[in-house]
Amino acid sequence: MKSLVVLSLYSLLAAAAMVRAEHDALTVVQSEPARVTIEQQPAGRRLLRLPGIEFPLRIAPVCAPGLTIDSLSINIADTRRIFRSADFDDQPAIETTLYVPGRQIGPMAVAKFCIADAPADDRHSGVSVADAYTANVSLRCVSDTQQSVAYETLALQVILLCGVPGSSKADKDQDASSSMTRF
């Protein structure tokens, strides 16, 4: 089963209705690019350790005729969020943000990005990385006599932004506590 990426909630629901007859269940998933600000790196460094990332997601699950949503789970790295059937009572789609801590995210190889000593023209203010990570979505549909589970995988895009020293909250916190010993 393929994931569909669409432009609006109405298109999302229309796409789900059209494909529903062909499949037991369908989970239409959409994600906006996650934006991450990276501090300037020393020259020669290729691997970037990313901080925690918030991934905005829109999910419109549809079960086959005669089945209703029992649960929907989303996994990115080791982070999981579970929605129950009651979460879909008022709305056919869920818009949520899944925060993944930096310790769950492997380093990313990006050459010549956000180098502190590079000339301003070579510094790059932003880089888009398509398919940086994946979200796995599982939809469980049930009736009194049967159940089905459908899986979807969505490639997640990350936009890396180069931070300017002294502009981030971490830099300001470090400046404010400069008399403290850091280990």
User: Per-residue pLDDT tens for 85-119?
Assistant: 999 888 888 889 999 999 998 888 887 788 877 66
CA distance 8 to 166: 38
pLDDT at 37 over 50: yes
CA distance 44 to 66: 59
pTM over 0.85: no
Q: Give the pLDDT of residue 69.
A: 92
User: Cα dihedral angle (45, 106, 49, 131), rounded to 10 degrees?
Assistant: 80
Query: Which of the two residues, 117 and 145, has the higher pLDDT score?
Result: 145
Number of other CB atoms surrounding residue 75 within 10 Å: 17
CA distance 163 to 30: 28
